[in-house]
Chain A
Amino acid sequence: MEADDRIVITGVGVVSPLGIGLPPFHQALAEGKSGVVPLDCPWQTGYSTNRAGLVPDFVLSHFMPLAGGDCLGRTTQLALVAGDMALQSAGLARANPVRHTGVIVGTALGESLAVEHAWEAAGVPVPAQQAPLQMANAMHEADLPDYNIHDTLATMFDLAGPNHVVTTACAAGNHAIAWACDLLKSGAADAMLAIGVDTIPYVDLLGFSRLLLQAPDCCRPFDLRRKGTILAEGAGALALEPLTLARRRGADILAEVAGCGLSCDAAGTFSGRIQDIRSLTIAAQRALHEARCHPEEIDYISAHASGTRLNDAKETHFIKELLGDHAYRVPVSGIKSMLGHAQGAAASFEAIASVLSLTHDVLYPTINYETPDPQCDLDYVPNQARHARVDVIMSHAFGVGGNNAIVIFKRWKGK
């Protein structure tokens, strides 16, 4: 790995509630559309209607005719299609492979949906105190689908490089990008896929609902009447390479991953006060240091913006503390308002949206914004997209459990 070699994005793939593929994703975001729909499910959560961001009309065989594809869990299927799109768009597909390409999958729940199906198909529930082997018999009878998402991806795409799964909840998508960049900079790989992916198992939906973190109607980041988030599913993939290698093979460069910063709240899973932003500041400072940026150079923020009361206020406070007066000049978008909160995929969606903002000179809106909150008084690009040129974007991802991952993207200027 040569000194000062930057990491660039050469391909993207997206499977989202707003569409499959980059053009529909971009168009829907730019038009302020919502991908949140009623969730038709047998589960009881205490809500009269469950709503979620669902990928419409997803059938694996329509995108990848794959023998045995039905045996794969839905999470793996989503990741496969997004990953394939990213490899194709980067020119890294099987027909033209880069020798040492790897994949990092970021997910909060992995194939938990498949685990639930297997548990149910085995005829359980079984009391928790029952002996482990008896429980194992039940799962064995249910014949679990392939559980190793990263291994499946590496096999299907014939990737010989490092492949791993990072499970840092809602920050996993950015974590995958950070780990991929570390591996590229250390010379462990010549190209990496960073994929964020998740589906919505019952435990997840119920968990958020019982904690009153799931909104009954829609996700309204930063709005005074916000009542929580809306869960979603999907997958987002980025193909990353060292600049030197990308140039050598004549790849189209979409943007630069300039810096990544990780931290942990270390303050309990859902606890914290608005003022507790030290860990967020640590992550931001690390990202800025790696990107060789001053805070004043940030000209757009892709916020975590989950729509919960505490998070949105805390995130606003963090932005103001980090940027000072400059915070009032920086637009902040919360695209979970349109996509829902896809957890492991959320940060990947926001990364792809950041790339599109840089390449299309567009700032995506925060929709469902109707009533300003005095605690959240920044420019959230309310309800309508905006044409604007930005050069440096900071993308936030704050996971359940306190995992924080901030990535800084820069416009690729050709040198």
Chain B
Amino acid sequence: MPSERVAITGTAASTWLGVGTSRLFGRLSEGLWARPYDIFEAGAKRFPPLTYDITDLIRKTRTDHELTRQLFAAVDCDLGADLAPLDNDSKARAGVVIGNSSGHIPSYLAYYTTAIQEGYERVNPVHFPATLVNYSTAQLSSGYALQGSGTTISSGFGAGLDAIGYATLRLQRGQDNLILAGGIEALNPYNLGLLKRHDAVSVSGRMRPLQEDRDGIVAAEGIGMLQLEPLLRAQQAGHKKVLGEVLSYHAASGYRRKGEAVGFDRIVSAISQLLQTADLSPGDVEAIFPSANGSIMGDALEARVLRHLFGTHLDRIPVYPVKALVGECFTAAGPLQCLAALYALTLPPSIPRETPQTSVSGIDGLLLLNTIVPCRKALIYSMGLDGTFAALILGKVDA
């Protein structure tokens, strides 16, 4: 990657836990396995009813699109104070890049269903824009008048991490000065249907990624966003809190074709290139935030990949399957894993590492610690059931 360093100066999140990064971090501070997350309702985990006040943003954008309203709430909760005072010149160089592969499908099918069932005259014309996959990006840009590059990426379930990678590239090339990047997901027949086609739905409704008694996936809705800026600008601004930096990004696809898992070599190659780009060796990685979602075959493949890449070093690297907490959020999962990684990167170094005996037993000897401990280099990757793969390495930035 080019030499300009890209910092993360803010985060935003919305999950079944509620709106705000603090809700996610609060649960992480209790411990990833502290509560029995088998309280997921059978089938899927949706956003809770929205109580966060977004009146101002609704007045500006007039949106009644559920996923976009959740996105507004998440961003306003954590980043609104940063974005509101930007002057016009700053807004001209502030962009939004969102990974969204199927979050528009509920509104798309609702529009279609009304037309077929009730007749075209019953379709509300103003609902059409929300059927487009770039709607949420457009609305977020409108809500804060951000006129830099607005982009929606729909490269599958890795698109949330793709968005962060793309935003990093644009910042490194000096084409924007600030970008909100991440992923969003709403449950819909496409992502749920994909789970069914691969026979991957958890029968018990209990998420147990990377554990022997895992029985499948629990789907969930989610939003994960990062605020990215050139590191030098953030440091010169003085008031900005630098949470970490993006060291490298890589993506691959086609590792899974119609249920046939063929991509071991491809994923190993992708992570190897990721490490090479960041000028790191496997031994430099101090924490892994995997894609693991309780899939019987998928988790086994991940364990094999990690063991192949990291060898015996893997016995000492904590592995934190964040989806055990947030569910399988598809396009939003990768960015939410990034948020968990930032939690680890910003912990004071004085917090002691927990002994393995108090952790959860993972397959192939994986170290599944309950408490997230400090680290300096974190590997995050998204391995989608749709065959897409994307990965990032985030690093700590010393003050």
Contact = CB atoms under 8 A, between A and B. Distances in A.
Contacts of A268: 61-62, 138, 142
Interface stretch (B170-178, B224-232, B309-317): B170-178
B112 A119 contact: yes
A124, A167, A262 — which one has the most chain B CB atoms within 10 A of its CB? A167
Nearest to B143: A266
Interface stretch (A200-208, A316-324, A353-361): A200-208
Contact of B135 (A43, A150, A269, A278): A269
B142 A133 contact: no
Interface stretch (B18-26, B123-131, B362-370): B123-131
A132 B192 contact: yes
B160 interface: no
Given A133-B192, A155-B254, A403-B134, A124 B156 contact: no
Interface in A119-164: 119-120, 124-128, 131-133, 135-140, 143-144, 147-148, 150-151, 154-155, 162-164
Interface stretch (A27-35, A86-94, A107-115): A107-115
A139, A399, A402 — which one has the most chain B CB atoms within 10 A of its CB? A139
Contact of B190 (A115, A150, A164, A269): A115
A279 interface: yes
Interface string B44-81: 10100000000000000110000000000000000000
A278 B147 CA distance: 9
Nearest to B95: A264
B105 interface: yes
Contacts of B2: 186
B185 interface: no
Nearest to B277: A188
A328 interface: no
A133 B43 contact: yes
Contact of B197 (A135, A138, A140): A140
A282 B329 CA distance: 35
B120 A286 contact: no
Contacts of A137: 193, 196
Chain A contact-residue range equals: 35 or more
Nearest to B134: A401
Main secondary structure, interface of A, reads mixed
A112, A143, A185 — which one has the most chain B CB atoms within 10 A of its CB? A112
Interface string A290-324: 00000000000000000000000000000000000
A393 interface: no
A165 B153 CA distance: 6
B253 interface: yes
A135 B108 CA distance: 13
A401 to B, nearest CB: 3
Nearest to A162: B251
Contacts of B146: 264, 266
Contact of B386 (A131, A148, A264): A148
A209 B188 CA distance: 26
A163 B113 contact: no
A150 B133 CA distance: 16
A279 B147 contact: yes
A133 B218 CA distance: 11
Contacts of B145: 266
Nearest to B256: A151
Interface string B352-396: 000000000000000000000000000000000011100000000
Closest 3 A/B residue pairs (Cβ): A264-B150, A401-B138, A136-B192
Interface of A: 43-46, 108-110, 112, 115-116, 119-120, 124-128, 131-133, 135-140, 143-144, 147-148, 150-151, 154-155, 162-169, 175, 179, 182-183, 185-186, 202-203, 206-211, 262-270, 278-279, 282, 286, 399-403
Interface of B: 1-2, 43-44, 46, 61-62, 91-92, 95-96, 100, 105-106, 108-113, 115-117, 119-121, 123, 125, 128-129, 131-135, 137-138, 141-142, 144-156, 159, 162, 166, 169-170, 172-173, 175, 187-190, 192-193, 195-197, 219, 251, 253-254, 257, 386-388
